Amino acid sequence: MSSYEDFHRRSIEDPEGFWGEQAQMIHWHKPPQKVRDYSKPPFCKWFVGGETNLCYNAVDRHLAERANQPALIYISTETDEEKVYTFAELHREVNRFAAVLQSQGLQKGDRVIIYMPMIAEALFAVLACVRLGAVHSVVFGGFAAYNLAVRIDDAKPKLMITSDAGMRGGKAVPYKHLVDESCSLAKFPPEKVILINRGLVKDMAITEGRDLDYATLRAQHMDAEVPITWLESNEPSYILYTSGTTGIPKGVQRDTGGYAVALASTMKHLYAVNPGETMFATSDIGWVVGHSYIIYGQLINGSATILYEGLPTRPDAGIWWKIVQDYKVRSMFSSPTAIRVLKSQDPKYMRMYDISCLRYLFLAGEPLDEPTSRWITDSLQIPVIDHYWQTETGWPMLSYLPGVDLKPNRFGSPGFPVYGYDIKVISEGTGEEVPRGDKGVLVVVPPLPPGCLSTVWGDDKRFVQSYFSSFKEMLYTSSDWAVRDEDGYFFILGRTDDVINVAGHRLGTREIEEAIQAHSAVAEVAVIGVADSVKGQVPVGFCRLRDPTLLDEPGAEARLEKEVIGKVQELLGAVAKPHRVHFVNALPKTRSGKLLRRSIQALAEGRDPGDLSTLDDPNSLEEVRRAVGH
């Protein structure tokens, strides 16, 4: 086994040689002619001329050796369903779904919006799309109709795939009415909506000529064999929207070959999972973790993946550990928020099951605080590995590497740069690398390694402006503050921009502000992320009203706060609703009119608001202090 330092150094100094070797971990229908083309910075093409397919690598290529091995383990504690699909059975279901999509005229390059709960058909749908060379865009099922409509208009899908409802906490969460509303709001609605009906919603509206029942269509294609559409390595596989600072989400565009190679390599070097073993990621397919390490990573590796619909505490707080025991999970991937939820439960649940099979727990999505890290490490008695990455990168940027050389853990640190990433911490002002121990912006020296975003969907200019134009030198900015200590360990300190992290979900404050301003009483608003012991951060709004006398009546403030929060939930969904909304007579701004969000955040958290030399109205600070009670 090579040392971490040698492994990482080679990936930076000899990228063609290094990635040429990693590329042998997947199947190529036609081998790449060139490992890397970086002739048009910051755009980088990987494995140029190579032809492959994500579905073939995830399903078909395993049939010869492991057709009867578990591939997909579907568990719903909401509907009490549990079903194991072998690679052969998964192959059959994906072919059926692909045939249904083909019957509706879906072709290579067409886009498909997938707005689905955590059910097996969601995974079949994703794999069926890439089998045909279509570009999928999964939208998190908790998003409201407006969010969905914005993404429809950007992707311009030929089809949408949805379900009647998801389930959460034993209650149905209807989807179909949101789909109908989004299609009416969108300028470019899909021609057809394919519906997986779980029987959870009575009297569901059906649009004749547009809505199609999946079960009926599937029955017509039970023995379908749909040939693979081979794609050049750099052709797009999917679009995944991430919050932008402008209020308009960015469509992260992923390639095909580079992504497959990156995921195959991380299953071995990072997650240390072998073919035939099981990995359980507790995320949702609407997020990047769900794409990389529920749908694709394990299957490409010839491992079993677990698709879980339910809460970590239902039927009780031992459910995840029961799954680990029952399916002999080797590596598990979750979020600090989920672990903090489990920490608040009766400790007996941590001891109820035999989880000796579990070798590693990986956590990501938000910074991992030391008390939580110590508690879960002590409880499980295995390495708990904090690691850091982004929707944009598609796979980890900072981590410890059990499959290469597991360094000693340092609480609060996601470790070291993962192979392929040349990472620095630089000064926001000068663009120069800062001394060890000093705070700066985490950046990657391009080109980005395989599997990272290749561009922003339909907007190369936004790709360059959003990620590579913050500094004089062309560098990929993570928009996160970081520190690197004397021993080379990295620590993430939070966002430099107006994106907040709520339970591992990235939300643009601008989107929430626009939703709040849709309330007729609101004249102006600032939304900030405030530290929260369970979720990491929660959104909090500060509003100036058009007519301050609206608050004069008894109970008016609480009533208006409820209305404003309701407006956000209506437009963006429950995931984005503010924890609190405060009403103030003035918002802190610079003399040029820029909102001082960092100062507002500091006051809301009881901290020093920092340099206020540019503050226009000193009374505005007192307004914020009064509102939050500091």
Place of tokens 């919050």: 243
- What CA–CA distance (Å, rounded) separates 465 from 244? 12
Backbone angles phi, psi at 126, to 5 degrees: -60, -50
Instruction: Kindly report the CATH number assigned to the domain that includes residue 98.
Output: 3.40.50.980
Say yes or no to pLDDT of 321 above 70.
yes
Question: How far is 327 from 232, CA to CA, in rounded Å?
Answer: 36
- Residue 560 in domain: yes
User: Is residue 566 situated within a structural domain?
Assistant: yes
What pLDDT is stored for residue 500 in this prediction?
78
In the predicted model, is pLDDT for residue 618 greater than 80?
Answer: no
Q: How far apart are CA 629 and CA 623, in angstroms?
A: 10
Structure tokens at 197: 């009906």
- Per residue in 469-504, pLDDT tens? 999 999 999 988 899 999 999 998 877 766 777 777
DSSP state string for 558-614:
HHHHHHHHHHHHHHH-GGG--SEEEE-S---BBTTS-B-HHHHHHHHTTS-----TT
Global pTM value: 0.85
CATH number of domain containing 594? 3.30.300.30
For residue 78, being part of any structural domain is answered with no
CB count in 10 Å sphere of residue 309: 20
**Among 194, 210, 229, residue at a domain's last position:** 229
- Work out how many domains the chain is built from and give that number: 2
d(CA 416, CA 488) in angstroms, rounded, equals 7
Whether residue 323 lies inside any domain: the answer is no
Torsion of CA 194, 196, 200, 204, to 10 degrees: 20
pLDDT in tens, 225-270: 999 999 999 999 999 998 765 567 899 999 999 999 999 999 999 9
Dump strand ranges (E) for 364-512.
384-386, 398-399, 416-417, 423-426, 439-444, 455-456, 476-484, 490-495, 499-502, 505-508
Q: Could you report the per-residue pLDDT of 435-445, keeping only the tens digit for each?
A: 999 989 999 99
Q: Per residue, what are the HEC states of 377-403?
A: HHHHCCCEEECECCCCCCCCCEECECC
Q: Answer whether residue 38 is part of any domain.
A: no
The pLDDT tens digits of the residues spanning 54-69 come to 999 999 999 999 999 9
pLDDT, mean of residues 339-351:
89
Confidence of residue 613 (pLDDT cuts 50, 70, 90): low
- Note whether residue 283 is domain-resident: no
State the residue range of the domain holding 549: 499-628
DSSP 8-state code for residue 33: S
Does residue 376 sit within a domain? Answer: no
Lookup result for tokens 């939820």: 341
> Quick one: pLDDT at residue 245?
54
Alpha helices of 291-332 — where are they, by DSSP H?
A: 297-300, 319-326
Segment of 209-213, 478-482, 597-601, 603-607 carrying the highest mean pLDDT: 209-213
Residue 247 domain-assigned? Answer: no
Q: Which of 229, 255, 277 is the last residue of a domain?
A: 229
Boundary of a domain, candidates 169, 203, 229: 229
Two structure tokens written together for 424:
């620095």
Interval 536-591: pLDDT, tens: 889 999 998 988 899 888 999 999 999 999 999 988 888 888 999 999 988 887 65
DSSP one-letter code for 32: -
